[in-house]
A and B are shown apart, each in its own frame.
Chain A
Amino acid sequence: MRVVWVGAVAVLAATAALALAQQTPGIGWISAGATGVLPAQAEYPTPTGRVGLLLSGGPVEMKGHPFFTPLGKNGRACVTCHQPAYGMSFSAEAARDLWKRTGGKDPLFAAVDGANCPNLPQEQEKSHSLLLERGLIRVFLPVPRNAEFTINVVSDPTGCNTSPIYGLNSPTPTVSVYRRPRMAANLKYVTNPAPRIVLKLGALSDTDPATGRPVGMNFMADAREATLLTQARSAMMGHGEAQSVSDEQLQKIVEFENQVYVAQIFDRSAGSLAEPGGPPTLGPAAMAAHRPGVLGDNDYDSVFLSFESWKKGGASTQEQFRASVARGADIFMFRQFWLRDVTHINSIGLGNPLKRTCATCHNHQMTGQDLSAGFVDLGTTNYPRWTEPPLYSDTRDLPVFKITCKPEAQPHPYLGRVIYTSDPGRALISGRCADVGSIVMQQFRGLSARAPYYSNGSAKNLRELVDYYDRRFDMKLSEAEKQDLINFLGVL
């Protein structure tokens, strides 16, 4: 059975590269409850070219399919936030366009979490500013019972964390943070099982409640759900406000998600990204064909394989662009810098600082996630290294919390016992002070389709993403090197 499947994927991979180039444009934004067929291969326009989508199990009839059908009272389906045309996530620009087209009536803007807070006037655009400007969905969580810290609200621009109904002092004390929806594609990589003991925790990994097997803890920002199935249930009950979801519906959702592969397929400057003899990592067919669980932090079988065929350059604009992409791949793999003050990287015995490269952390071949459970505190949500203005009490539009570690707790390894944060990340699940700001890293594929970046949507484009890393790690990238990295990331 396994041989048949592998063979089928191989055949599909071999033919898809050619077939995708001939695809007609995709069908754009898919509303919950849509009918019709989602084709097995499709391309959708992005600001820099086209993103490709490949369904390894063949076309899918959307009518009645639980991924595409509203199961709850607010009219949302999974597809509301996981749009094929937007890398199985969505962009802030797409959300703004949807607001204009629907007058804010699309279920994406549902009060429960498509607004900055449910108690705001829902018809007003400013009540949905975080979704429209940063592509953020409200995630509301209780403070863990075992929390090693106390949490106070310092700044609350959305009003939700100080709300007597929805806030920390409500009858059900709740913390509201705001996060980007992750791409629901290439999931065989993202859900690759972890070893039983998680290196970063010095403890056992979470397990699949159905099988007891260890799970990768790598597919949500805070790794709070163990499996796609538990995530689907939680999402439908929470984001979708469903009263119940059947096991059969959940199975169909997961079955669908597991066959979706997404990667950039065409770039306006580089041309076709999935042509014979080109870099073997590019295009969704490569994502479908490759095997997960390969550590790419090495110089013989690297994270995004080889870009050697594009290195030769040439006189044409296309050749020069391709050479720039290849240089960007080399910067990603080989450019050394001081990797420092990153919880769950520097703190696990590697030393602080660590003279390494991007690939040290972004080491899972084909996706650039971490092969180990991927939550690290890069710093995007914690003062002073966050992506926000340099004043701890003012992130303008995001809430700010003051976390105070209890005396017996191990402090945050680089911020100590008092931390100002716009999103405590994993700490809202683990309750550990050391985890404040730790967030699971995301895959690097289909980026062009789904700006903005980082879990808080703070990088409007790849330039801002690269600039943050350059500042954060004092990488001293030249303008040309930044552009090489941007070009490289843009074709993945």
Chain B
Amino acid sequence: MKLRGLAVLIAMLLVMQTAAAQQLNFVACPIVRDTRTVPCFIAEYEGETYYLAVQQDISADQYPPQLLHDVLVEGTLEKGPRVCGGIPLKPVKLSVLPEVNAACNTILPAEPGIEAPPTRRPAGPSTRQPAATAAPAAPVRLTPPFGEREWKVLYDFDSAFLFSRDTRTVNQAADYAIAAKAKRIEVVARRGATLLSNGKVLVEGEAIAAQRAERVVTLLKGLGADPASVNVRVVSAPPQPDGRTDPESRIVSIRVSP
């Protein structure tokens, strides 16, 4: 029994060690690697090069980082061939850190043999024909029964900006609240923290949770959600970061109750 328990413990430790080995959190200057098509964004950390993202457009799932800014990389090592000369991370959360760092300013020229992954849009004008870029589909008609639902907006580190993908999320929540004649919309905004792979902890600015709440609530109300139904909770105490789920600590949740 004791031996069995020890085996389980060892197995758990191995799993945790493997997980820890696969997760990589670091801050670095992004580097632009040009290719014959669109540029890739890579970063160097502890002597290795990692692939972060490729230039796309605003509809992309992953937004690239920015020169003149450090990037916080929170990702999981992905097995497989290098991309743009770097080891891929997937999933990966990239945060453009807000302060300017003039040292982050490297653009590498295109080189034979280094290709960007396929993208929907080339470097020049869009080539997607009207059928693919037609007017947005008619809004989905929301019909009863309406139950309790929740939407989550995840943020870049130290940012309250709502990107296009985020405003779509808030819009969905507002539409649902309106259709369901919600009695209560609970907005909970949180301030995050991140454990880096080198053991250092990054904590977001004190005011960030309040700023996130303010922007989301303003948007919800502006989109027609009943102001009287909106309740806001700001959690300004940062959580204990674990190095694995930290991006989820930078969040605003919107719970709509009919």
Tell me the complex Cα distance, A103–B219, Å. 54
Flag if B130 contacts A300 (CB, 8 Å). Answer: yes
A300 to B207, CA, bound (A): 47
Q: Which of A297, A334, A351, A414 contacts B53 (CB 8 A)?
A: A351
Residues of A within 8 A of B107 (CB): 338, 353
| Residue in chain A with minimal CB distance to B208 | A408
Q: Is B67 a contact of A334 with CB atoms below 8 Å?
A: no
Cα-based distance from A199 to B168 in the complex (angstroms): 11
A352 and B55 in contact (CB under 8 A), knowing A333-B125, A410-B98, A411-B99?
A: no
Task: List B contacts of A354 (CB < 8 A).
Answer: 55
Q: Which residues of B lie under 8 Å from residue A196 when comparing CB positions?
A: 222-223
Task: Tell me, yes or no, whether B11 is within 8 Å of chain A by CB.
Answer: no
Proximity bits, A204-220, B CB within 8 Å = 1, else 0: 10000000000000000
- Given the known inter-chain contacts A203-B219, A352-B67, A352-B68, please indicate yes or no for A298 contacting B162, CB distance below 8 A: no
Contact B163 A202 (CB under 8 A): yes
Residues A353 and B67 in contact, CB atoms below 8 Å apart: yes
Question: Does residue B26 face the partner (Cβ distance < 8 Å to A)?
Answer: no
Are A355 and B38 touching (Cβ within 8 A)? yes
Cα of A354 to Cα of B126 in the assembled complex, Å = 14
Question: Closest CB-CB distance, B29 to chain A, in whole Å?
Answer: 12
Interface segment, one of B15-23, B57-65, B189-197, B230-238: B57-65
**A413 proximal to B (CB < 8 A):** yes
Chain B, range 17-65, C-beta contacts under 8 Å to A = 32, 34, 38-39, 41, 53, 55, 57-58, 60, 63-65
User: Which B residues from 154 to 209 make CB contacts under 8 A with A?
Assistant: 159-167, 171, 205, 207
| Cβ–Cβ < 8 Å partners of B126 in chain A | 297-299
A311 to chain B, nearest CB (A): 18
Of all chain B residues, which has the CB nearest A207? B222
Alpha-carbon distance A208/B144, docked complex (angstroms) = 33
Interface assignment of B66: CB less than 8 Å from any CB of chain A: yes
B165 to A, closest residue via Cβ? A349
- When the two chains form the complex, which single residue of B58, B66, B124 contacts A334, counting CB atoms closer than 8 Å? B124
B215→A351 contact, CB < 8 A: no
Q: Chain B contacts of A297 at CB under 8 A?
A: 125-126
Bound-state CA distance A410–B32 (Å) is: 24
Tell me whether A309 is interfacial, beta carbon within 8 Å. Answer: no
Question: Which of A280-288, A314-322, A339-347 contacts its partner?
Answer: A339-347
CB distance from B210 to the nearest CB of A (A): 10
State how many angstroms separate the Cβ of A347 from the closest Cβ of chain B: 7
Task: Knowing A300-B129, A341-B68, say if A197 contacts B124 (CB, 8 Å).
Answer: no
Q: Do A350 and B124 touch across chains, with their CB atoms under 8 A apart? A: no
Asked if A415 is at the interface of the complex by the 8 Å CB criterion, the answer is yes
Are A415 and B163 in contact, with the CB atoms below 8 A?
no
Minimum CB–CB distance for B92 against chain A, Å = 14
Say yes or no: is A348 at the interface (Cβ < 8 Å to chain B): yes
CB distance from B70 to the nearest CB of A (A): 13
Cβ contact within 8 Å between A349 and B164? yes
Asked if A202 and B100 sit within 8 Å, CB to CB, the answer is no
A298 touches B67 (CB 8 A): no
A351-B66 in contact (CB<8A): yes
CB pair A334–B161 under 8 Å, yes or no, is: no
- Residue in B98, B162, B163, B219 whose Cβ sees the most chain A Cβ within 10 Å: B98
- A259 at the B interface (CB under 8 A): no
Q: Do A359 and B68 have beta carbons less than 8 Å apart? A: no
A352 to B, closest residue via Cβ: B66
| A357 lies within 8 A of chain B by Cβ | yes
What's the nearest-Cβ distance from chain B to residue A430, in Å? 13
Q: Digit string of A345-379 for contact with B (CB within 8 Å is 1, else 0)?
A: 01111111111110110000000000000000000
Docked complex Cα distance between A331 and B34 (Å) = 20
How far is it, in angstroms, between the C-alpha of A329 and the C-alpha of B109 when the chains are bound? 27
Assuming the A-B contacts A346-B66, A351-B65, are A356 and B223 also in contact, with contact meaning beta carbons closer than 8 angstroms in the complex?
A: no
Q: Are B164 and A199 in contact (CB under 8 A)?
A: yes
| A202 and B205 alpha carbons, distance in the complex (Å) | 20
Separation of A251 and B46 alpha carbons in the complex (Å): 66
Considering the chains assembled together, what is the distance between the CA atoms of A298 and B121 in angstroms?
Answer: 10
How far is it, in angstroms, between the C-alpha of A348 and the C-alpha of B57 when the chains are bound? Answer: 10
User: Which of B39, B124, B159, B215 is within 8 Å of A203, CB to CB?
Assistant: B215
Contact B215 A202 (CB under 8 A): yes
Which residues of A lie under 8 Å from residue B219 when comparing CB positions?
Answer: 197, 203-204
Chain B CB within 10 Å, residue with most, of A297, A298, A301, A360: A298
The reply on B127 being an interface residue by CB < 8 A is yes
Judge if B133 is at the interface, Cβ distance under 8 Å.
yes
Chain A residue numbers with a CB within 8 Å of B53 are 351
Q: What residue in chain B is nearest A355 (Cβ atoms)?
A: B123
Query: B118-164: which have CB < 8 Å to A?
Result: 123-130, 133, 159-164
Is A298 in contact with B218, judged by CB distance below 8 angstroms?
A: no
Q: Are the C-beta atoms of B39 and A353 separated by less than 8 Å?
A: yes
Known: A346-B66, A414-B100, A415-B100. A298 touches B125 (CB 8 A): yes
Contact of A336 among B124, B127, B159, B163 (CB under 8 A): B124
Q: Would A299 and B124 count as touching, CB distance under 8 A?
A: yes
- CA gap between A27 and B223 in the complex, in Å: 49
Query: Which residues of A from 408 to 423 have beta carbons under 8 Å from B?
Result: 408, 410-417
Q: Is A231 an interface residue (CB 8 A)?
A: no
Checking B58, B67, B98 against A349 with a beta-carbon cut-off of 8 angstroms, the contacting residue is B58
Pick the contact of A202: B34, B55, B66, B166 (CB < 8 A): B166
Chain B positions within 8 Å of A, measured between CB atoms, are 32, 34, 38-39, 41, 53, 55, 57-58, 60, 63-69, 98-100, 107, 123-130, 133, 159-167, 171, 205, 207, 215, 218-219, 222-223
- 4 additional contacts, CB 8 Å, given A196-B223, A355-B39? A297-B126, A300-B129, A352-B65, A353-B32
Q: List 27 A-B contacts (CB under 8 A).
A: A196-B223, A197-B171, A202-B162, A202-B163, A202-B164, A202-B166, A202-B167, A203-B215, A204-B219, A204-B223, A298-B128, A299-B127, A300-B129, A340-B67, A341-B67, A346-B66, A348-B163, A349-B163, A349-B165, A350-B55, A350-B63, A351-B63, A353-B32, A353-B107, A410-B98, A413-B68, A414-B100
Q: A residues engaging B (CB < 8 A)?
A: 196-197, 199, 202-204, 297-302, 333-334, 336, 338, 340-341, 346-357, 359-360, 408, 410-417
